[in-house]
Structure 1
């Protein structure tokens, strides 16, 4: 049995949703019921969650992959926010504090991966590589999405798997790990600063990036001068406000695209003409708006 040190724990010091609309907070499912172990190094669970549901900040000693059907996931860290549509998945390394919000109603699949050091075996060796020690958003191939819904989602209350089920889970797990390693990384994250004044501004922009047109207008809410705010963006985030806000716009576009809105509508919602928005996407992520927004992907199968 795991000790209390291995259980997901709430992190009251992190409040990534301070400016968000009212959220329905739900408890974390008992991790002991889904904890990966050497006999089952990859475990899966599924929860049907409504829009604006928040899974409170927590950590656990195993890695995690989150992917939804139909809806959009908002993954919040102490220093970044990721908005992830259903044709993509988000990777969370062991020990990283995170909270999950459902931007749209969906089934949330969460896969847990036992690290090699804890008995994950040779299959888990890739997780020790440096590139997997940070959160990342990745493309979820049709094969990966199909494998996810085929994984057994029963908790330990359901009893042990039969030998045939165990063999099938082992094969599926190996394929899941292979597809994850092959997946293209999408640079779709919004970094957050440590300075309280700037973080307050950034969280407000995340909630409504079109509220103000200029940094000067945003800065009025912080109590800091325009010069100070501009300097903080450069020193804490390594970019200008305009560059940072473009990442927010792309993240919001992903959430809007999950509603099956046309690109022209998404652009207008974000204050862009269709051509200007398409140019922004191409310049920032190097792909067409349709590809970036997943409008060329089939939805994840439902259960």
Structure 2
């Protein structure tokens, strides 16, 4: 496993919580752990040889991988394949549950890609149960080991049935464009012009427009809309009122925000949030 420190502004960055101590094995193919992160805390970018599922029981987190960022409310989880570098940033204080999965538990091309999954009530309960076990700990007694294995098998079955969701936001490789995208993710309510953002990251609007097209296949305005919608979904999942969501995203009124969502996705926020 490799780790690289990461700091953005006043954030506090931490290393992973000894993931090697939770390494899954053929005898214990799923290992779970719990961790609380306060607002504006990061976990350093890192990777390991086994797959990982990240669930926030309460609060919301942003999970970054090399190519995507996922803004995830409690009703969703992020799947991270083996050896994919990832980092976690809290949007607000979050109680995290992490599962580590031994190689071969989830096979197929779909599991080679990072993505967001819907979490059923049963899957959530199983994850909470497995991550509540004292761990790391001495090997369990045979009866408890058999119970843990049963829970692990059922979790895998539920993950195979979980519906994937298109909540990922593409991230670029180019350092200049990546800096711009990261800055916008950190301050979604800022209404600065494209020219102002470009000046902040030290690149011309023309260069950044070309990079948006070449690396992300989109424009600045389209990427920003996708980012704002993902953030709005997170707030809506936490039952925030429309006026709060509008204010959080820099709109002067709920009606102005509603009009923007309707223009962007072709339906009012209430229907969009319900379907998403």
**The two structures share one fold, judged by TM-score above 0.5:** yes
Larger relative strand fraction: 2
Residue 128 of structure 1 aligns to a residue whose secondary structure is coil
Q: CA deviation at 1:73?
A: 1.6
2: CA distance, partners of 1:138 / 1:37: 24
Q: Is the 8 A contact 1:268 1:274 kept in 2?
A: no
1:79 aligns with 2:48: no
- Specify whether residues 279 and 290 from structure 1 end up closer, same or farther in structure 2 by C-alpha distance, changes over 3 A only: farther
Q: CA deviation at 1:69?
A: 1.2
Structure 1 residue corresponding to 2:56, chosen from 68, 83, 87: 68
Q: Is the 8 A contact 2:177 2:211 kept in 1?
A: yes
1:179 aligns with 2:158: yes
Pairing 1:201-240 to 2, within 5 Å after superposition: 201-240=180-219
Q: Report the equivalent of 1:138.
A: 117
Structure 1 residue corresponding to 2:77, chosen from 89, 99, 109: 89
Q: Report the equivalent of 1:295.
A: none
1:160 aligns with 2:139: yes
- Specify whether residues 166 and 185 from structure 1 end up closer, same or farther in structure 2 by C-alpha distance, changes over 3 A only: same
Q: CA deviation at 1:98?
A: 0.8
1: CA distance, partners of 2:262 / 2:58: 24
1: CA distance, partners of 2:36 / 2:189: 31
How many residues are paired up?
A: 270
Structure 1 residue corresponding to 2:260, chosen from 266, 276, 296: 276
Q: CA deviation at 1:36?
A: 0.5
Residue 156 of structure 2 aligns to a residue whose secondary structure is helix
Q: Is the 8 A contact 2:59 2:94 kept in 1?
A: yes
Residue 23 of structure 2 aligns to a residue whose secondary structure is coil
Q: CA deviation at 1:259?
A: 5.1
Q: CA deviation at 1:110?
A: 0.4
Residue 116 of structure 2 aligns to a residue whose secondary structure is strand
1:9 aligns with 2:5: no
- Specify whether residues 22 and 223 from structure 1 end up closer, same or farther in structure 2 by C-alpha distance, changes over 3 A only: closer
Deviations 1:181-216 (A, max 9, x none): 111111112222122222222122112234235323
Deviations 1:91-131 (A, max 9, x none): 00000111112222222100010012xxxxxxx2xx23111
Pairing 1:88-107 to 2, within 5 Å after superposition: 88-107=76-95
2: CA distance, partners of 1:179 / 1:110: 16
CA-based RMSD of the aligned residues comes to: 2.4
Q: Is the 8 A contact 2:209 2:220 kept in 1?
A: yes
Q: Report the equivalent of 1:3.
A: none
Q: Is the 8 A contact 1:62 1:94 kept in 2?
A: yes
- Specify whether residues 180 and 222 from structure 1 end up closer, same or farther in structure 2 by C-alpha distance, changes over 3 A only: same
Q: Report the equivalent of 2:127.
A: 148
Q: Is the 8 A contact 2:3 2:15 kept in 1?
A: no
- TM-score scaled by length of structure 2: 0.88
Long gaps (5+) in structure 1:
1-7, 117-123, 293-303
Deviations 1:6-39 (A, max 9, x none): xx32135xx4x53xx4222233222332111010
Q: CA deviation at 1:80?
A: 2.2
Q: Is the 8 A contact 2:30 2:99 kept in 1?
A: yes
- Specify whether residues 171 and 265 from structure 1 end up closer, same or farther in structure 2 by C-alpha distance, changes over 3 A only: same
Residue 100 of structure 1 aligns to a residue whose secondary structure is strand
Residue 51 of structure 1 aligns to a residue whose secondary structure is coil
Q: Is the 8 A contact 2:71 2:230 kept in 1?
A: yes
